[in-house]
Chain A
Amino acid sequence: MEREINFVQGRRKKLTKSQKVDLKIFKGVLGVFGVFVAIFLITLGVDFYLQFQVKSAKDQQKQMERQVAAQESIEQSIVITTEKLKILSELFELRYDKQAAIDFFSEIFGSQVLIKDINYEAGERILSLRLQSPSIFILESVFEELSNPEVEEQFGQVNKTDLVRNDRGGYNMAITLSLVEESKTKKK
């Protein structure tokens, strides 16, 4: 009786083992590929969503811009008025300093000293006053007042020039002072 001998029996087992390993690897790689495709599809979806949101935001912006453009005259009025208020604020400040200085000196000199001339350089913040004193005694008190530490504190150095005796026995004198920023108060 012939006996069949299968020489490739062991070999098939070997092939099946490696094929099983390959199959596992194949399943793993397929899984990874599937995850990759899922991630890709999600990112694609997110991309489309963000593009839609950006477009929607831009459309709304155009609508808002149309509404703003329709009220351009109001905006123009507001912007110009605000700019003018800034400038008026500066001008008020400059003028207040001058007024405060004149009021200050009028008060300390009293009613007997007449402020004859006033010259104010707004850009340089320099105030020049020409005083008229009826007598030497009142002039002396003017000098004392000008030497007062309060005057020096508020206006720094006060220059006294052009002392002249007039026909009536009175004296005219010019004083020049600088209106420094630190000296101002907030009263308008």
Chain B
Amino acid sequence: MADTQKLKTTNQQTNFRYIYNTRKYLVWSGVIGLITVVLLFASLIPQINSITSLYDDLLKENKRLTQLKLKVAQLTDSTNSLIVTNSERVNNALPSKKPLLELLTALNAVGSQTKVSFDDISLTPGKISTESAEPKSSKRSKDKKKTTTSKKYETLSVDINVTGKIENINNFLREIENIAPFSTVTAMSLNERSSNNPNQEFTDAIFEAKLTVSTYFFTKSVAANIDAALPELTVAQREIIDALQGFTYTTLEEQYQIRGGGLENLFPGIGSIPI
């Protein structure tokens, strides 16, 4: 039995040796073919996939690079552009903070210009606390879904009473809508003041106008991507810039220090209060 197996093994070895000696080229062809197929699937096909994906990446990166180059060119050329040269006017027309003092100054200037007199000015107060200070009940907070809406702008309203001739009041109403900050007369009530002169002409009669003037200020959060192109002006926006040229702008001097009113020092000789 052992001799039979030994004979078989010897026969097999002899066969392989015989095949190699007689069909050497074919054996090597098989080996090289096998190596080729293995390398094809193990390296060439992944290589081609890698090239395809790299090419897509290259196209994407080149596109982004083009966008960035365009943006750099736009920023370099923008210093004399219409937007930049008129940005101060636009900011005055729609400020980013409540323009109370600016509005009052402008109203005063228009009033002087149109010869109307102010009898009363009252304000509609804005928010005095943030939403976080509002009292919340635990039940309500579970039921109510909070939605935050970002408003683009807020309104500040001022109620004013002016008196003057009808023509002056008409001029005032017209001019008040040509001031910065941008304002609109949202309510008006006109009453004629009683006169002792029965022969008085309508044009000379004194009228009292109660007006609500609303002005606006910018509250929107703005964000921009580094590779996003700069916005371009539309035709409508160019018209707005033209319209802003005719607005009345007032300069409000900013106060950086407390200015004394020439009051008498009530505590002469006292440098500091002892604790």
Contact = CB atoms under 8 A, between A and B. Distances in A.
Given A33-B32, A82-B233, A88-B240, A77 B87 contact: yes
A32 B36 contact: yes
A23 B25 contact: yes
Interface string A29-63: 11011001001100110110011011001101100
Interface in B98-148: none
Interface in B61-83: 61-62, 64-65, 68-69, 71-72, 75-76, 78-79, 81, 83
B44 A95 contact: no
Nearest to A51: B54
A61 B61 contact: yes
Contacts of B233: 82, 85
A22 interface: yes
B44 A117 contact: no
Contacts of B58: 50, 53-54, 57
Contacts of A61: 61, 64-65, 68
Contacts of B94: 84, 87-88, 91
A85 B241 contact: yes
A89 B83 CA distance: 15
Interface stretch (B6-14, B224-232, B252-260, B261-269): B224-232
Nearest to B211: A118
A119 B230 CA distance: 40
B185 A84 contact: no
Contacts of A122: 184, 186, 214
Interface in B205-225: 214, 216, 218, 220, 222, 224
Given A29-B33, A74-B79, A118 B185 contact: yes
B23 interface: yes
29 contacts: A22-B24, A22-B29, A25-B26, A26-B26, A29-B36, A33-B36, A40-B39, A43-B51, A47-B47, A54-B54, A54-B57, A54-B61, A57-B62, A57-B65, A60-B65, A61-B65, A67-B75, A68-B72, A75-B224, A78-B231, A80-B222, A85-B90, A85-B241, A89-B236, A98-B184, A115-B190, A116-B191, A120-B185, A130-B189
